[in-house]
Structure 1
Amino acid sequence: MTRSVVLGCGSYLPQNVVTNDDLALRVDTSDEWIQQRTGIRERRIAAADETTSTLGIAAARRAMAAAGISAADIDLVLVATSTPDSTFPATAVIIQAELGIERGFAFDLQAVCSGFVYAVTTADALLQTGQATRALVIGAETFSRIIDWEDRTTCVLFADGAGAVVLEAQPAGDIKTGRGVIASRLRADGRHRSKLFVDGGPSTTGTVGHLRMEGREVFKHAVGMVTDVIEDVFAATGYTADDIDWFVPHQANRRIIDASARKLGIDPEKVVVTVDRHGNTSAASIPLALDVAVCDGRIKRGDLVLIEAMGGGFTWGASLIRW
């Protein structure tokens, strides 16, 4: 048996910081209102010359440096994004070329905010079956490009950024202490697609469109769906909330994060939270948070890390990883 082991991670955030007070100059809102309902204080917005691929390239280079590998060592590039550079080709092949990766294959995966969990699960399956040896898994978004900046219910939430991890197929080792992706569970239910969507697309309007969301409906479903899939991971592995060293959820809303941890019985001290600084960066939010916690010394080799997300579709999922 093999496991997909994390060799390194990296992230990149645009330099442009937009605070709640900055947004209050554009729409009818306030710092107090935003923080009370979301926990967000500020977010990063890509510059005019930055794209999803340029953010992803910067994060990927840092992840590769942390892993101590070169372009010649990578044979799979998988990019989770809902905001690709172009309809085609895939943003993954743009990143592949810019990094000088000439082996293997590359493709995009679209599961909105659940994209990184879906991508880790997909890369893990491909590594375990021998389709690749080392995978560069990236979550990258420029959600500012699909936001209606006159809609105060959404423009205060979403932001831009990228994060990446390098996974390598290695012998599984001890079932309890061996490093790598231990188990993942994915779900989707398209009956809820109208609750969080973009009102454009090549085949419908021929336009990019804007993000639309029924906030209360999303919140209502989020905690139940997330905890359900995590409980499935626990059941499959025999681990419990007490065994978790770090819980790294999708950074959508502080109230959802807190409610999920509370329902699962996860100690608040074990929860990694970056939504206050990053906002909701969709598929980039989990790898961004992972890199923050690795860089500040919280997540260490051998730690048991639980990641989870829910996004438009609805899609949702969770992965348990021995770091």
Structure 2
Amino acid sequence: MTSLRLAPGVGGTRILGIGSAQPEQVVTNHDLAKTMDTNDQWIRERVGIVERRFAGEKDTVVSMAVEAGSKAIAAAGLDPADLDTVIVANCTTKQPIPNAAAQVADLIGIKAAGGFDLNAACAGFCYGLGVASDLVRAGSSRRALVIGSEKLTDVVDPADRSTAIIFADAAGAAVVGPADEPGIGPVAWGTAGDLVDMIGMTERTYIFQEGQSVYRWATTKIAPIALRALELAGVAPSDVDVLIPHQANLRIVEAIAKKLRKEGAREDMVVADDIVYSGNTSSASIPMAMDHMRTAGKIHSGDVALLVGFGAGLSYAGQVVICP
């Protein structure tokens, strides 16, 4: 079994359970072609997406987070009372206060929980996982629930094919607790604030991105960040069983995997491709992809997984985890 390296004297943590939630409405490329100048082939060739899920009127960042979080707690074999901290990573809540985390904690039944929202856009889950792990290691939390939840259809112009074909709605969650053997490696994170104008929102109304610039940045910079996460955890590329990058674009995912294989990752390394049927769900994409892969039998308990998120900010973060 692969062992992860931590700083001397630091206790271990691990993911105890994962869960996810998606709205019922499936939107195919053919559906989008009815309302904008696009087609199935054009979308598949550029971003690799076949379909995605759009939220209904009753679906919110909070409601999807509650569903995903509840599933993660159940998967961990725990009760809500066993947790004391809730972190909700998101960038699409309609108002800055009250935060989503307090509402999610109460609705799940985690009473008097420490709760806060975290905004690192598409890197949000990895940021939240790093923070939760450190809180548990430090003794500030017994067990923490980390959720990435996004209703991106609230901030996407439905007539803008550069964004409307990509983004979707969902939530993914993980329970973090103490462990004798480390199951979450140190986080390798950072920002490139000089590139802040590549992805953003116009007066808090619609999201925009410079697609080609983001593509070049991601295909150039993310693989080295992933390698840094491996180095911090004391893990070799050949030890990685599963690669779960942010599901931004299938071409980006494949480019990252190709570069890691050049650095020694195995050809049989399983690579997440949840983007194909879920679209880009920002902070929800990594935990949801992990949950879908677990359900499909593509990954197994004990597998070494490399997570790496990246998005607006530009923010990025990655860590090695042992699959629950």
Q: TM-score, normalised by structure 2?
A: 0.93
In the TM superposition, what are the counterparts of 1:179-218 in structure 2 within 5 Å?
A: 179-200=182-203, 208-218=204-214
Instruction: State the one-letter code of the partner of 1:312.
Output: A
Instruction: State the one-letter code of the partner of 2:199.
Output: L
Matched with 2:319 is: 319
The 2-side partners of 1:67 and 1:122 are apart by 19
My pick for the range that moved more, 261-270 or 304-313, is 261-270
Matched, 1:259 2:259: no
In the TM superposition, what are the counterparts of 1:279-290 in structure 2 within 5 Å?
A: 279-290=279-290
Partners of 1:183 and 1:321 within 8 A in 2: no
Partners of 2:18 and 2:172 within 8 A in 1: yes
- C-alpha RMSD of matched pairs (Å): 1.2
Matched with 1:273 is: 273
Moved >3 Å (runs of 4+): none
Unaligned runs of at least 5 residues, structure 1: 172-177, 201-207
The 1-side partners of 2:112 and 2:294 are apart by 29
Secondary structure (helix, strand or coil) at the match of 2:208 reads strand
In the TM superposition, what are the counterparts of 1:22-101 in structure 2 within 5 Å?
A: 22-101=31-110
How many residues align structurally?
A: 310
Instruction: State the one-letter code of the partner of 1:274.
Output: D
Q: Per-residue displacement from partner, 1:273-321 (whole Å, max 9, x unpaired)? A: 1100000000000011010111122222221110011100100111101
The 2-side partners of 1:108 and 1:120 are apart by 13
Secondary structure (helix, strand or coil) at the match of 2:92 reads coil
Matched, 1:109 2:118: yes
Secondary structure (helix, strand or coil) at the match of 1:79 reads strand
Aligned CA distance change for structure 1 residues 209 and 215 (closer, same or farther; 3 Å): same
Secondary structure (helix, strand or coil) at the match of 2:150 reads strand
Instruction: State the one-letter code of the partner of 1:54.
Output: S
Partners of 1:179 and 1:302 within 8 A in 2: no
Unaligned runs of at least 5 residues, structure 2: 1-9
Aligned CA distance change for structure 1 residues 85 and 56 (closer, same or farther; 3 Å): farther
- Determine which of 2, 7, 17 is the counterpart of 2:26: 17
Deviation at 1:88, TM superposition (A): 0.4
My pick for the range that moved more, 101-110 or 209-218, is 101-110
The 2-side partners of 1:3 and 1:261 are apart by 28
Partners of 1:104 and 1:132 within 8 A in 2: no
Matched with 2:13 is: 4
The 2-side partners of 1:115 and 1:55 are apart by 16
- Determine which of 232, 236, 250 is the counterpart of 1:236: 232
The 1-side partners of 2:138 and 2:112 are apart by 17
The 2-side partners of 1:98 and 1:155 are apart by 31
Q: Per-residue displacement from partner, 1:184-243 (whole Å, max 9, x unpaired)? A: 11010111111100112xxxxxxx310011000000100222112112122223322211
Partners of 1:249 and 1:286 within 8 A in 2: yes
Q: Per-residue displacement from partner, 1:247-267 (whole Å, max 9, x unpaired)? A: 111101010000011011143
Secondary structure (helix, strand or coil) at the match of 1:239 reads coil
Secondary structure (helix, strand or coil) at the match of 2:216 reads helix
Give aligned-pair identity as a percent: 35
Deviation at 1:86, TM superposition (A): 2.6
